[in-house]
Amino acid sequence: MTFDTRAFRSALGSFPTGVAVITTQASAERHLGITVNSFASVSLDPPLVLWCMDKKSDRHHVFTNATCYTVSILGTDHQEVSSRLAKQGSHSLEGIALRDTDLGPPALEDALAVFECEAETIHDAGDHTILIGRVIRFARQEHGAPLVFFRGRYGALASNAPD
Ligand SMILES: Cc1cc2nc3c(=O)[nH]c(=O)nc-3n(C[C@H](O)[C@H](O)[C@H](O)COP(=O)(O)O)c2cc1C
């Protein structure tokens, strides 16, 4: 039996997700970021989260070798930043509104929530690597609408959804 990978990918896109940007330090002076929708919570105690990284990404080695990274949960105002950091080879955070974190990798300004993570484990998983992070510090905003990804497109929650 042949497995239609393209159709599989489209079917997975029927699961609506939020969007996050993960940032880490690439060199002494340089941070970079990547847009992901594979972010998920794992454990409350200890506090663990995960995300998955495509092995084909040219950022794969940087993130899988990172000792820490910061997860910023995006709001609807972040759509442009999300598109930019999803472009192949477009890693730079230059010109993006950022704020400092204690661990180092910057968070996106006005993120709905921020999770500062130390790398806990990585797991080989087919054409992706699963990265599990231990949350050292976190913050959240009370208000703001989440950026949503569904069927390959950006969207937002319906206007009657709770803020
Ligand atoms: C909404 C959205 C979600 C994405 N989620 C992931 C993800 O979870 N993991 C991943 O490796 N790439 C994900 N990507 C793709 C990356 O952002 C990026 O396009 C890819 O790494 C190619 O660029 P690179 O080779 O320069 O790293 C996503 C892209 C978009 C637009």
**Residue (of 43, 31, 36, 45) closest to 72 by Cα position:** 36
Half-sphere exposure of residue 78: CA atoms within 13 angstroms, side-chain side = 30
> For a pLDDT cut of 70, what percent of the chain falls above it?
97
Give domain status of residue 153, yes or no. no
Give domain status of residue 23, yes or no. yes
CA distance 160 to 61: 42
- Give me ligand 1 centre to Cα 35, in Å: 5
pLDDT digits (tens, 9 = 90+) for 71-106: 999 999 999 999 999 999 878 999 999 999 999 999
**Residue (of 130, 118, 125) closest to 47 by Cα position:** 118
- The domain that contains 71 carries what CATH number? 2.30.110.10
Tokens of 84: 């930019």
Task: Point out the least confidently predicted range of 27-31, 36-40, 48-52, 100-104.
Answer: 27-31
For ligand 1, atom 5, name the residue with the nearest CA: 36
Instruction: Quote the number of domains for the chain.
Output: 1
92 Cβ below 6 A of ligand 1: no
How high is the pLDDT of residue 29?
Answer: 83
Give domain status of residue 6, yes or no. no
CA distance 45 to 35: 27
Q: Which domain holds residue 77?
A: 17-145
